[in-house]
Every structure is written in C-alpha cells, then in structure tokens.
Amino acid sequence: NAGVTQTPKFQVLKTGQSMTLQCAQDMNHEYMSWYRQDPGMGLRLIHYSVGAGITDQGEVPNGYNVSRSTTEDFPLRLLSAAPSQTSVYFCASSPTGGHSLLHFGNGTRLTVT
Amino acid sequence: DAKTTQPTSMDCAEGRAANLPCNHSTISGNEYVYWYRQIHSQGPQYIIHGLKNNETNEMASLIITEDRKSSTLILPHATLRDTAVYYCIVRSRSNDYKLSFGAGTTVTVRA
C-alpha cells in the first residue's frame, strides 16, 4: 500500500517557469489537500478538494491552481513560479473531511531562483 | 476556529515521560483537540485526538482539562525516535476542511 505519493521529491525552477507537482493516493480517499511549509511557519493550506470535480481555496491560494479530475490524483500547478514560492510542499488525504485520518506524503522541496 | 499556544521547544530525557502542553482558551463546545507530529523531512503523522475525555492509544495519551481550555500530550517513555515537531490543533468536525498547522513544539529527546 503506497499511501500518498508525491513527485518529484526535489525541483529547481527559474522565475517565471511553470510546473506541476503531482500527488496520488491509492486509498480511495475523498479529501485531498496541498500545504506549503516554510521555516518557522508550520504548514499552511493552499487548496483542498472534498471529491472529484470539487476544489476550494485554503489559506494561501494565490499563485497556485488545482484540479481534481479523479479521486486518486490532485496535482498542484504553478503557472509562473516566483522566489516566494520556494518551500516544501506536502499533499495529504483522508477518507472524508474528518482530518483525524490525514495521511501525508513525504513532500516536494521546491526552489525558485 | 480556536487558536492554540504551544511552547516553542522542549527537551526530554530518553526513557522518561514527555509532557507537551497546549493552551486553547477560546475553544468552543464542538471543537476537538488533535495532535500531529512531524519527524524531520517527513510529512506530519496523526497521533491522537479528543473532545472532552482523556484518550490513550499506542502512541500517546491526551489529557484535556475539565474546562477544555488546555490539554497535555503525554509520550509515556520517550525514545530518540520521538524527536520531532508536535502540533496541537483545535478544529470543529463540521468545518475541518481548512486545516492549517502552527509552528508547533520542537521536542528533542536526549540520550
């Protein structure tokens, strides 16, 4: 059972480039979310989804797009990367919105130069 | 949602109990207390949660005061592998989609 899988593990981008961070889960979870973690800031919610076709904004959504075409996948898109988006990104899922069962991936470390 | 206050850091001796405090003085009646931890470079891991009663599982115990304004996570016999950042979160089960984590408590277990 793979759980929550994030790819890539590391990425370096130049300012203005675009990319997609991938997140996949094999637990048939309805709820998925993306977080960013900056030093001393804890984890801040970017976007979340409560099911296929449904997404909503979290605490820090600007500069990021998401879509949820399948239950398994929840990609995070950076359309025009900025140095302020240098961070570690975590994807999480749970069976419902009940976050006592949040399962996290191991993160993607993104550097924007 | 109620805010939480945790100490920035604490040390604990290996084999001893680690008691991690959390203040949530503005907690409302339908809000639960959750604890997660994050070991270096990994995603956070759920530990335990509770509403009013004390809870225990294989990882830890959660003690919630009678007025629910504070709680303590207890790691009964801390090991070096318990070194991590511990997050205390207060959320309503009916509105728990927008879950964010504060800075937490950095716990260092020393041999």
Q: Give the pLDDT of residue A1.
A: 64
B73, B9 contact by CB (below 8 A): no
Please tell me the predicted confidence (pLDDT) of residue B76. 96
Which residues 40-59 of chain B have a CB within 8 Å of chain A?
41-46, 49
B104 or A101, higher pLDDT: B104
Q: How much is the average pLDDT of A50-54? A: 93
Burial status of residue A28 (CB atoms within 10 A of its CB: 0-12, 13-18, 19 or more): exposed
The rounded percent of chain B whose pLDDT value lies above 90 is 75
**DSSP category for residue B101:** B
Under 8 Å between Cβ of A3 and B42? no
Each residue's pLDDT tens digit, B43-61: 999 999 999 989 999 999 9
> Residue range A11-16: average pLDDT?
97
Contact B88, B70 (CB under 8 A): no
Per-chain mean pLDDT for chain A: 93
Mutation for A interface: B35, B96, B105, most A CBs within 10 A: B96
Chain A interface includes B34 (CB < 8 A): yes
pLDDT band, residue B101 (cuts 50/70/90): confident
- Are A94 and A103 in contact by the 8 Å Cβ rule? The answer is yes
* C-alpha angle A27-A33-A39 in degrees, rounded to nearest 5: 120
Judged by CB atoms closer than 8 Å, whether chains meet at A90 and B44 is answered as: yes
pLDDT the model gives residue A54: 94
Contact with chain A for residue B111, Cβ under 8 A: no
Q: Which residues of A, range 27-86, sit inside 8 Å of B by Cβ?
A: 31, 33, 35, 40-45, 48, 50, 56, 58-59
Question: In terms of CA atoms, which chain B residue is nearest residue A42?
Answer: B103
Neighboring chain B residues of A96 at a CB cutoff of 8 Å: none
Could you give the CA distance from residue B15 to residue B109 in angstroms, rounded to a whole number?
9
Half-sphere exposure of B98 (CA within 13 A, CB side): 9
Of B73, B83, B70, the closest CA to residue B47 belongs to B73
Cβ atoms of residues B53 and B64 within 8 Å: yes
Instruction: Give pLDDT tens digits for A75-108.
Output: 999 999 999 999 999 999 988 765 557 899 999 9
On the CB side of B10, CA atoms within 13 Å amount to: 17
Whether the predicted pLDDT of B23 surpasses 80 = yes
